Amino acid sequence: MTKPENIHFVGIGGVGMSSLAQIHAMGGGLATGSDRLFDRGENLDLKAKLEALSIKLHPQDGSGVTAATDLVVLSTAIEDSNPEVAAAKRLAKPVKHRSELLARHVESRRTIAVTGTSGKSTVAAMVFEILQAAGRSPSVITGAALLSLKERGLYGNAWLGTSDLLVIEADESDGSLVNYMPSVALILNLTKDHKEVPVMKEILKRFSANAASLIVNADDPNLADLRPASTYGLASGDLRPEGLELSPSGSSFRLKGAGFRLSLPGRYNVENAVAAAAACLNEGVLPEDCARALASYQGVGRRFQAVGAARGISVFDDYAHNPAKVSAALSAARLKASRVLAVYQPHGFAPTRLLRKELVEAFAEGLRPGDMLWLPDIYYVGGTASKDVSSADIATPLAERGVKAFHVPKREDIIPRIAEAARPGDLVLVMGARDPGLSGFAAAVLKALA
């Protein structure tokens, strides 16, 4: 009998790393890991969920890499000076990037890889839910927690099915998706985010060339150079919805003669649903089965997720962190409320520096005269980032343009300001990425409102 592979995951608390660790453990492999947030007493829900899968967690001091370790896996965020990397070198253990391990999974299955600047987690989840409802028993490796998997007691961003079908979220942020050779590549959109658009175009061209089949959003002009086997869109493409109706509670439309009803608001979620349907129709799933699965789709964590309501004021939590996602979240909020009180926590100094001007434009266009915006300091995990930009560099130009935007360094100081400003009918929208404490912050806002 073959000995189970023993893999140590450095930075196992990251969404991409934790999903790989869970899939490995679910498949009978041995997994260990470390994360600096766990060492600081943060992200404890994920820590407990990993330990429930018999994943042994260690301090990030090198002690988790031992003679029994077969492979050390790390993400782009891990520096060469990390004690785990030093321990791997000292013990002559092979070290691979997260994307290299994911590539192994991709090539061993019939994989649908979902990528693009925005919507990856939602579309990957939708594809998984449709295939599961159709009896295909797929696996999923993604970057956000599916609420349906959380109901099963899991963290929610990984599941091991019994078939060879695998759905993955192919993260474009570091360009590592060129390592994947999927059966189907689904490309959703392309706007400026982690890299400039021309750079990302070349990466997507390389990625699409690796795929056996390619499905592309025909509405996005930045994807026009690709050569897809099929296309979809709201205005153009091989697959398009008919009779689209948007409402505060969701949307309805028809595809291939089947009636679809989504409980998620926003035009962008219709686009997500059509993309997911395009991938599943490609797998032979009937349009009626796609519609049935999406009618009961619960969503993924922190994607315009309702936290609750108090005194007629609703609170929503969203992962929005780039200009396109901010615009989408604000558009959904505007459908549901006459006034939006927004909190946006920038994630990282480099992304804020790169996207500052575009973020200012997104907020200037997305916020109405009565709306308000608070920005705490930039979320910083650690590392060697140059701290030459701040949240004030977003708030100040917005205020100069007449937007009610305020830089409040300490996040907890924003809560009483929201409680004082909010009135019945308002919607509080908490936005930001990477920080596992943001959902707790949204809950604290709700508590203060009550």
Quote the DSSP letter at residue 379. B
- Give the mean model confidence (pLDDT) for residues 175-194: 93
State yes or no: pLDDT of 1 exceeds 80.
Answer: no
Q: What is the pLDDT of residue 384?
A: 66
With beta carbons less than 8 A apart as the criterion, state whether 50 and 21 touch: yes
Could you identify the residue written with the tokens 């922190």? 302
CATH top-level class of 305-449 = alpha beta
- Give the mean model confidence (pLDDT) for residues 11-21: 95
Work out the mean pLDDT of the chain and round it to a whole number: 96
Q: What is the pLDDT of residue 383?
A: 67
Buried b (16+ CB within 10 A) or exposed e, 388-427: ebbbebbbebbeeeebbbbbbeebeebbebbbeebeeebb
Q: What is the pLDDT of residue 3?
A: 87
- Give the mean model confidence (pLDDT) for residues 241-264: 96
State yes or no: pLDDT of 108 exceeds 80.
Answer: yes
Distance in angstroms (rounded) separating the CA atoms of residues 188 and 113: 11
* DSSP labels, 308-367: EEETTEEEEEE---SHHHHHHHHHHHHHH-SEEEEEEE-B-HHHHHHHHHHHHHHHHHHS
Going by C-beta distance under 8 Å and a sequence separation of 6 or more, which residues neighbour residue 330?
340, 342, 362, 363, 366, 367, 429
pLDDT in tens, 191-232: 998 889 999 999 999 999 999 999 999 999 999 999 999 999
What CATH number does domain 6-98 carry, 3.40.50.720, 3.30.70.20, 3.90.1150.10, 3.40.50.150?
3.40.50.720
- Give the mean model confidence (pLDDT) for residues 410-426: 98
Distance in angstroms (rounded) separating the CA atoms of residues 283 and 285: 6
Q: What is the pLDDT of residue 173?
A: 75
Distance in angstroms (rounded) separating the CA atoms of residues 206 and 170: 13
Going by C-beta distance under 8 Å and a sequence separation of 6 or more, which residues neighbour residue 205?
225, 226
148: confidence class by pLDDT, cuts 50, 70, 90: very high
pLDDT in tens, 117-147: 999 999 999 999 999 999 999 999 999 999 9
Show me where the domains of the chain are located: 6-98, 109-295, 305-449
Q: Strand 6-10 and strand 230-232: pairing?
A: unpaired
State yes or no: pLDDT of 367 exceeds 80.
Answer: yes
Q: What is the pLDDT of residue 51?
A: 98
* Domain 109-295: assigned CATH number: 3.40.1190.10
Distance in angstroms (rounded) separating the CA atoms of residues 3 and 24: 14
Q: What is the pLDDT of residue 66?
A: 98
Does the predicted model carry a pTM greater than 0.85? yes
